[in-house]
């Protein structure tokens, strides 16, 4: 665990170094490279929705010379609007260089039949900062020319909202924020695609051979991880990821080796340990923070899971 944490920290520091280096180059270097958005973005609207859409608004801006963002607001027949999702696409620009494009479809919940489509383009020069062997070790970059689907979880939607809200003609700090948000989205997409291939084999659940159904179960897990402090019922969870309750329960157990309730409980107990041991919370504060109905309910659940009383972990 410590080794993995150390690797994550090193990777984060390296990413930040790269985007600072890349951003500075956009201010120092002279003529700006022109981007053929129609060709290089391969029209993310058509990629995600097809051609039967009305583009209401279109925006395009450069974070720097190597990272570009395209955003469309589109009208689409509500009954045909697909679930929110994303795609990561690689396009070879030479034998050892390739562009990477992140494409997202996000529903516009305040206006019916309206959606926002994002395309974030990382040019080959940006991706080339990492050696080819490192890149090809990731599933996301192996023979990925038609796009690999990624889920649009709550955290991803928040990142996209923040990216859209930052001034497109902003200051240097605002450009830094745009770059940081873009890299967070890329990291989440690469990690998600890699995690799909690490799940357990599921011969007993034949429906999980369908990538779309597996993605829904993966999305359910991500919702639980982000909302561990809330009471998310199986019925609500199945509705949010658009999958049958029975399939969700069976698929979750097959893929992660735990029931949904067991997974939720483990998340909350692990968080409780951290709050008690490291953050210095009281037992009452932990029970409230994690959404337990009472201190006694929390204490009972904690003792059952750890064979210890919460007060034994107080600093």
Range of weakest confidence among 14-28, 118-132, 157-171, 286-300: 14-28
Cα distance between residue 207 and residue 203, in whole Å: 9
DSSP for the chain?
-HHHHHHHHHHHHHHHHHHHHHHHHHHHSSSPPP--HHHHS--HHHHHH-S--EEEEEEEEESSSSEEEEEEEEE--GGGPPPPEEEEEEEESSSS-EEEEEEEEEE-TTSTTEEEEEEEEE-HHHHTTS-HHHHHTSGGGSS-SS-EEEE--HHHHHHHHHHHHS-TT--HHHHHHHHHHHHHHHHHHHHHHHHHTTSPP-TT-GGGGSHHHHHHHHHHHHHHHHTTTS---HHHHHHHHT--HHHHHHHHHHHHSS-HHHHHHHHHHHHHHHHHHTS---HHHHHHHTT-S-HHHHHHHHHHHHSS-GGGG--
Q: Is the pLDDT of residue 58 over 50?
A: yes
pLDDT confidence band for 66 (50 / 70 / 90): very high
Digit-coded pLDDT (tens) for 179-189: 999 999 999 88
Model pLDDT, residue 301: 87
Highest mean pLDDT: which of 32-36, 47-51, 122-126, 212-216? 122-126
Model pLDDT, residue 27: 37
Mean pLDDT estimate for the chain? 76
Contact 71, 58 (CB under 8 A): yes
Q: What are phi and psi of 205, to 5 degrees?
A: -120, 85
Model pLDDT, residue 150: 79
Model pLDDT, residue 80: 58
Q: Using only the alpha carbons of the chain, give its radius of gyration.
A: 22
Cα distance between residue 27 and residue 145, in whole Å: 32
Model pLDDT, residue 38: 33
Cα distance between residue 100 and residue 89, in whole Å: 6
CA 290 to chain centroid? 23
pTM of the model: 0.53
Range of weakest confidence among 1-10, 68-77, 107-116, 121-130: 1-10
Q: What is the three-state SS of 258-299? A: CCHHHHHHHHHHHHHHHHHHCCCCCHHHHHHHCCCCCHHHHH
Contact 175, 63 (CB under 8 A): yes
Q: Is the pLDDT of residue 106 over 50?
A: yes
Q: Give the bridge partners for 70, in sequence order.
A: 60, 119
Domains of the chain: 2-196 (no CATH), 206-313 (1.10.10.60)
- Specify the pairing of strand 98-107 against strand 54-62: unpaired
């Amino acid at each position: 665990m410590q080794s993995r944490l150390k690797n994550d920290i090193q990777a984060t520091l390296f990413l930040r170094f790269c985007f600072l280096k890349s951003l500075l180059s956009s201010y120092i270097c002279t003529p700006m490279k022109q981007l053929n958005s129609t060709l290089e973005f391969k029209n993310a609207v058509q990629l995600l929705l097809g051609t039967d859409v009305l583009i209401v608004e279109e925006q395009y801006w450069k974070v720097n010379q190597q990272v570009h963002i395209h955003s469309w607001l589109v009208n689409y027949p509500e009954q045909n609007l697909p679930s929110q999702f994303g795609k990561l696409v690689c396009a070879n620009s030479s034998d050892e260089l390739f562009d990477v494009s992140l494409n997202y479809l996000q529903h516009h919940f305040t206006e019916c039949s309206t959606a926002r489509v994002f395309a974030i383009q990382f040019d080959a020069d940006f991706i080339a900062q990492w050696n080819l062997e490192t890149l090809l070790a990731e599933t996301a970059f192996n023979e990925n020319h038609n796009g690999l689907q990624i889920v649009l979880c709550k955290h991803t939607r928040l990142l996209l909202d923040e990216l859209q809200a930052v001034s497109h003609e902003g200051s240097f700090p605002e450009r830094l924020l745009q770059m940081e948000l873009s890299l967070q989205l890329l990291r989440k997409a690469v990690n998600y695609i890699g995690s799909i291939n690490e799940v357990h084999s599921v011969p007993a659940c034949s429906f999980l051979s369908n990538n779309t159904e597996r993605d829904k179960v993966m999305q359910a897990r991500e919702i639980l991880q982000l909302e561990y402090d809330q009471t998310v019922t199986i019925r609500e969870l199945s509705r949010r990821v658009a999958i049958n309750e029975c399939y969700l329960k069976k698929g979750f157990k097959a893929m992660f080796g735990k029931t949904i309730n067991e997974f939720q409980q483990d998340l909350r107990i692990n968080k409780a340990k951290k709050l008690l041991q490291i953050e210095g919370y009281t037992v009452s504060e932990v029970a409230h923070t994690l959404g337990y109905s009472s201190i006694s309910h929390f204490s009972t659940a904690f003792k059952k899971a750890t064979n210890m009383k919460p007060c034994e972990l107080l600093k």
